[in-house]
Structure 1
Amino acid sequence: MSPVLDVNRVDLDHAINHKDHQTDFSEPECLFVRRGQIFTISLHLNSGQYNEGKDTLTITAEIGAQPSENDGTRAVFRVSDTIDEASWGAKASSRTAGVLTLSISSAPSAPIGHYTLFLDQEGQRQVKLGQFVLLYNPWCPRDSVYLDDEDKLEEYVLSQDGLIYVINLALPWIFGQFQQGILDICLKLLGIDPAGVQGCGATGNPVYVTRLLSGLIHKHVLWGNWNDTSDGVNPEEWQSSVEILQRWDMEKSLVRYGQCWVFAAVNCTVSRALGIPCRVIINFDSAHDTDGNLTIDKYVDKYGRPSKETRDSTWFVLQSWINR
């Protein structure tokens, strides 16, 4: 039996998809799309054509080392005449001479990360169509990270720099989540332990992933130090998550040193890169208030010099926007 389609090459339509998915920051060699939203691919054919209602084409999307439909790491769906953006699906959106364009939707709760697409034709050998990276989608109402506020989307997802407020000081910080190579580093970090003991399929849950990232950054990326930092970088000297992540990626070891706002800032970069809306805040509610007066006290004399020791302190944490 001859194949319905003899595929010569596949165009992942990077420019169109990246613009539609708010991922036009990415490298053109790799396709980055957001879950719960349609993207297109174009199949350039040596021969054959798709006849709707007559020919059976099946698409398979797989993620992880051992993909399975049971945990959501493999999705199998047919090309049909309709598409439901609430689940994985595909339809032929355009048919011209020698080219078949498919519109593909991913489930809004699908695991995130590196996927491989395959085409199956009845009785024929499976054809690899290409690879793409799936991210969380705060623009999609069906995604649990959905944020219905354009101003907050600009700040919590797209903004690559900002201020971290330390009491009455505003420290400039470069989050740089869309700088060249940073998203790849963030995915590499997640790949150290794709979803802890729960497996790769658990990356579909952003609540679990934010908790996982906190542990990964503390365990693998930054070394916390509140004492002598002479054999590394004083945490107060950092002004960018980019430098920290690049150093971790290059040296393959803990970066010395970090404190609470540095950990929170790096976590913010990784979360925004993956599509989780978030920001860095001062956490007064669980601050280190040693005398129980509900204030963080600093004592100085009339010349502004410290006059009394206090262990009161505030902590910096990551505030994520997730519809739980």
Structure 2
Amino acid sequence: MSPVLDVNRVDLDHAINHKDHQTDFSEPECLFVRRGQIFTISLHLNSGQYNEGKDTLTITAEIGAQPSENDGTRAVFRVSDTIDEASWGAKASSRTAGVLTLSISSAPSAPIGHYTLFLDQEGQRQVKLGQFVLLYNPWCPRDSVYLDDEDKLEEYVLSQDGLIYVINLALPWIFGQFQQGILDICLKLLGIDPAGVQGCGATGNPVYVTRLLSGLIHKHVLWGNWNDTSDGVNPEEWQSSVEILQRWDMEKSLVRYGQCWVFAAVNCTGISTAGLSPG
């Protein structure tokens, strides 16, 4: 057995992974990846080496306050020579002097949200590798949210600008799902009631999360008002989900005011931020 890997630092390869996963959220300090798709991390070593077929390296990915394999919030898998992209897995994709690069794939049905990665070395030492945010993947055929239409993916998931229709009027709107802080705000919103009574593991279900986000926005973010709005913002004056979500995050109270199309627009931002198509 080779000496235990003495990890000096871990590079989450943000630039490469964000390009491959189309997750340019303007927050380079955090890794954002989509489920069911391989991402890479690089372990820079002070000493030790990994010998495939001889050494046992085990990766653990956890999400939530009480992660459990039973509800899918904890995954334990070994580094091997192949990856089954239908489940969590990892392989050593590159070994150079002092650097071990791992390719990791999440299950295409995994819960979304903040994960922490750990490395176990034959029971000798556990190393925290880092944290990442996992999102739905409409580009992955194994993900239930798969959308086989590049034009719709561009419009519904990637485009940050669009139109909101009010009766027969088309109003320009900034959805801003990739603007700095918006993903974190949306995940914070989910954290108020993390998948409700079904628990954190339920965030793997896009139908449930869509309904949950809609309810949370109505309950916690926007105050609906069809009468006098003089003590707040007239709903007709809003042009961006970003301003509404940032104000909610800063003030920690209902934003005054919204009407049906404003609720719909903010919900579209939350959905597309998570990697879903609101269309």
**TM-score, normalising length: structure 1:** 0.82
Aligned length in residues: 276
Q: CA deviation at 1:165?
A: 1.9
Is contact 1:145-1:323 (8 Å) kept?
no
Q: Deviations over 1:200-246 (max 9, x none)?
A: 00000000000101110011000011111111111111111001000
SS in 2 for 1:108: coil
Q: Deviations over 1:265-301 (max 9, x none)?
A: 00000xxxxxxxxxxxxxxxxxxxxxxxxxxxxxxxx
**2-side partners of 1:231 and 1:322: how far apart?**
34
Q: Deviations over 1:157-212 (max 9, x none)?
A: 01101111223321111111111111111111111111000000000000000010
**Structure 1: which 5+ residue stretches go unaligned?**
270-317
Q: Identify if the C-alpha distance between structure 1 residues 54 and 323 changes in structure 2 by more than 3 Å, giving closer, same or farther.
A: farther
Q: CA deviation at 1:26?
A: 3.3
Q: CA deviation at 1:123?
A: 3.0
SS in 2 for 1:95: strand
SS in 2 for 1:44: strand
Considering only aligned residues, what root-mean-square deviation do their CA atoms show, in Å?
A: 2.1
**1-side partners of 2:275 and 2:22: how far apart?**
19
**2-side partners of 1:319 and 1:39: how far apart?**
18
Q: Deviations over 1:297-322 (max 9, x none)?
A: xxxxxxxxxxxxxxxxxxxxx99977
Q: Counterpart in 2 of 1:35?
A: 35
SS in 1 for 2:274: strand
% same residue: 97
**2-side partners of 1:238 and 1:168: how far apart?**
18
Q: Identify if the C-alpha distance between structure 1 residues 320 and 57 changes in structure 2 by more than 3 Å, giving closer, same or farther.
A: closer
**TM-score, normalising length: structure 2:** 0.95
**Structure 2: which 5+ residue stretches go unaligned?**
none
**2-side partners of 1:23 and 1:34: how far apart?**
8
Q: Identify if the C-alpha distance between structure 1 residues 34 and 321 changes in structure 2 by more than 3 Å, giving closer, same or farther.
A: closer
Q: Counterpart in 1 of 2:53?
A: 53
Q: CA deviation at 1:25?
A: 3.0
Q: CA deviation at 1:24?
A: 2.2
Is contact 1:185-1:249 (8 Å) kept?
yes
Is contact 2:136-2:276 (8 Å) kept?
no
**Moved beyond 6 Å, runs of 4+:** 318-324
**2-side partners of 1:209 and 1:168: how far apart?**
30
Summarize the alignment of residues 1-324 of structure 1 with structure 2, pairs less than 5 Å apart: 3-269=3-269
Q: Computing the radius of gyration over CA atoms, which structure comes out larger, 1 or 2?
A: 1
Is contact 1:36-1:107 (8 Å) kept?
yes
* Higher relative contact order, chain-length normalized (CA < 8 Å, sep 6+): 2
**1-side partners of 2:60 and 2:205: how far apart?**
21
Q: Identify if the C-alpha distance between structure 1 residues 319 and 121 changes in structure 2 by more than 3 Å, giving closer, same or farther.
A: closer
Q: CA deviation at 1:39?
A: 0.1
Is contact 2:67-2:74 (8 Å) kept?
yes
